[in-house]
Amino acid sequence: MLDDCDLNAYIEEHILGAAVSIKPETLVGYQRAEFGKAATRRLWLFVLQLAIAVPAAASVLVTDEVWVYGLAISGFVLLVLWWVAFTTYQRTRNAAQSARRASLLIGGLGGELSPDATLSFRRLMTVAEEEAATHEKADYYATSFPAGPARLGEMIEESAFYSAHLQRFSALAMLGILVIFAIVFAGIAFAALPFIDEATTLTILRVFLALLVFGMSSDVLGAYLSHRSAARDIESVRSRLQLARRDNFPLVDVLLLMGDYNLAVESAPESVPYAYDISEKRLNRLWAEYMENLRQISQKPLVKR
């Protein structure tokens, strides 16, 4: 048993001490781990929505009552699983966005979270500290500015550069899924041509409607449009950040742009899984080239006329 002195010492050392020990790279670790987890869960959501559409499509061709009842039960079970998966996905995505905001603010402006804020932050996270630690990356943001508005502004601009690309990548992925649906339906219709009659035509139309239900319930078309819109909004924020750079990133401007960036990112669907892994090397190279060009321009002497 611990007496009051020992208990207070324990709290200060292990709880309050840990509360103020969240470093910027630790926040980045949480951010990367949570976003990776959210992307995986979004993939599972998509798979479950596809699975839910399968009984609907199969019921068009099944006439046996037992099979119809079985398909109805399986559809209900899959719907419950989807609801559970959606709830956990939303919680993970909220945690990822919270970690992203914290890593930008703490990493950009400096300072540290209070014990209360740290406790709330850790409660919100869905990954363990050990897992977050494996995702830490001290050079995740390439800025060389000291803590302050300029550093935060450049970090937001870098984040916007990556986010805009990932949203465009995700839009293309959703468009690809829509094209696959069109090809599948066209293939079914073409294969049925030798056997075409009124009954076959109705069956094809029912299958098409079932696929259409999946396309809308999984919001493939809506996700495609949202990804495109988010890419444009994020690119607009980045353009405004480039203008703010010319004025050495005024604090008020940077905070306003961060709010606009948060709105654009958080209202957009999560980028498709593995989009970042596929694009990381290319984006790192492009951003490094952009930063090098900025440095060269800033070092050029002004030409007097």
- Answer yes or no: is pLDDT of 20 > 90: no
What are the residue ranges spanned by the domains of the chain?
14-140, 146-294+297-301
| Across 59-66, average pLDDT | 70
Residue 6 or residue 249, greater confidence? 249
Torsion of CA 32, 36, 39, 45, to 10 degrees: -130
Whole-number Å distance between alpha carbons of 157 and 159:
5
Position 16 pLDDT exceeds 50:
no
What is the rounded distance in angstroms from the CA atom of residue 162 to the CA atom of residue 84? 30
Residue keyed to tokens 């299958």: 207
pLDDT at residue number 23: 87
Relative orientation angle of helices 65-109 and 149-191, to the nearest 10 degrees: 160
Mean pLDDT calculated for residue range 9-24:
54
In this prediction, residue 231 carries a pLDDT of: 94
Is residue 4 predicted with pLDDT exceeding 70?
Answer: no
Residue linked to tokens 């996700």: 223
Q: What is the pLDDT of residues 130-178, one digit of tens each?
A: 999 999 988 899 888 999 999 999 999 999 999 999 999 999 998 888 7
Q: How many CB atoms lie within 10 A of CB 153?
A: 27
Interval 96-121: pLDDT, tens:
999 999 999 999 998 888 888 888 99
Question: Would you say residue 238 has pLDDT above 60?
Answer: yes
Q: Residues 219-247: what's their mean pLDDT?
A: 90
Check: CB of residue 137 under 8 Å from CB of residue 32: yes
Q: pLDDT at position 35, please?
A: 92
pLDDT at 211 over 70: no
In this predicted structure, the answer to whether residue 79 has a pLDDT above a threshold of 90 is no
Tell me how far apart the alpha carbons of residues 59 and 68 are, in angstroms, rounded to a whole number.
6
The pLDDT mean for the chain works out to 82
At residue 139, the pLDDT reads 85
Token readout for 168 is 């465009």
pLDDT at site 201? 64
* CA–CA dist 83, 48 (Å, integer): 10
Residue 40: band (very low, low, confident or very high) from pLDDT cuts 50, 70, 90 = confident
Verdict on whether the full-model pTM lies above 0.95 = no
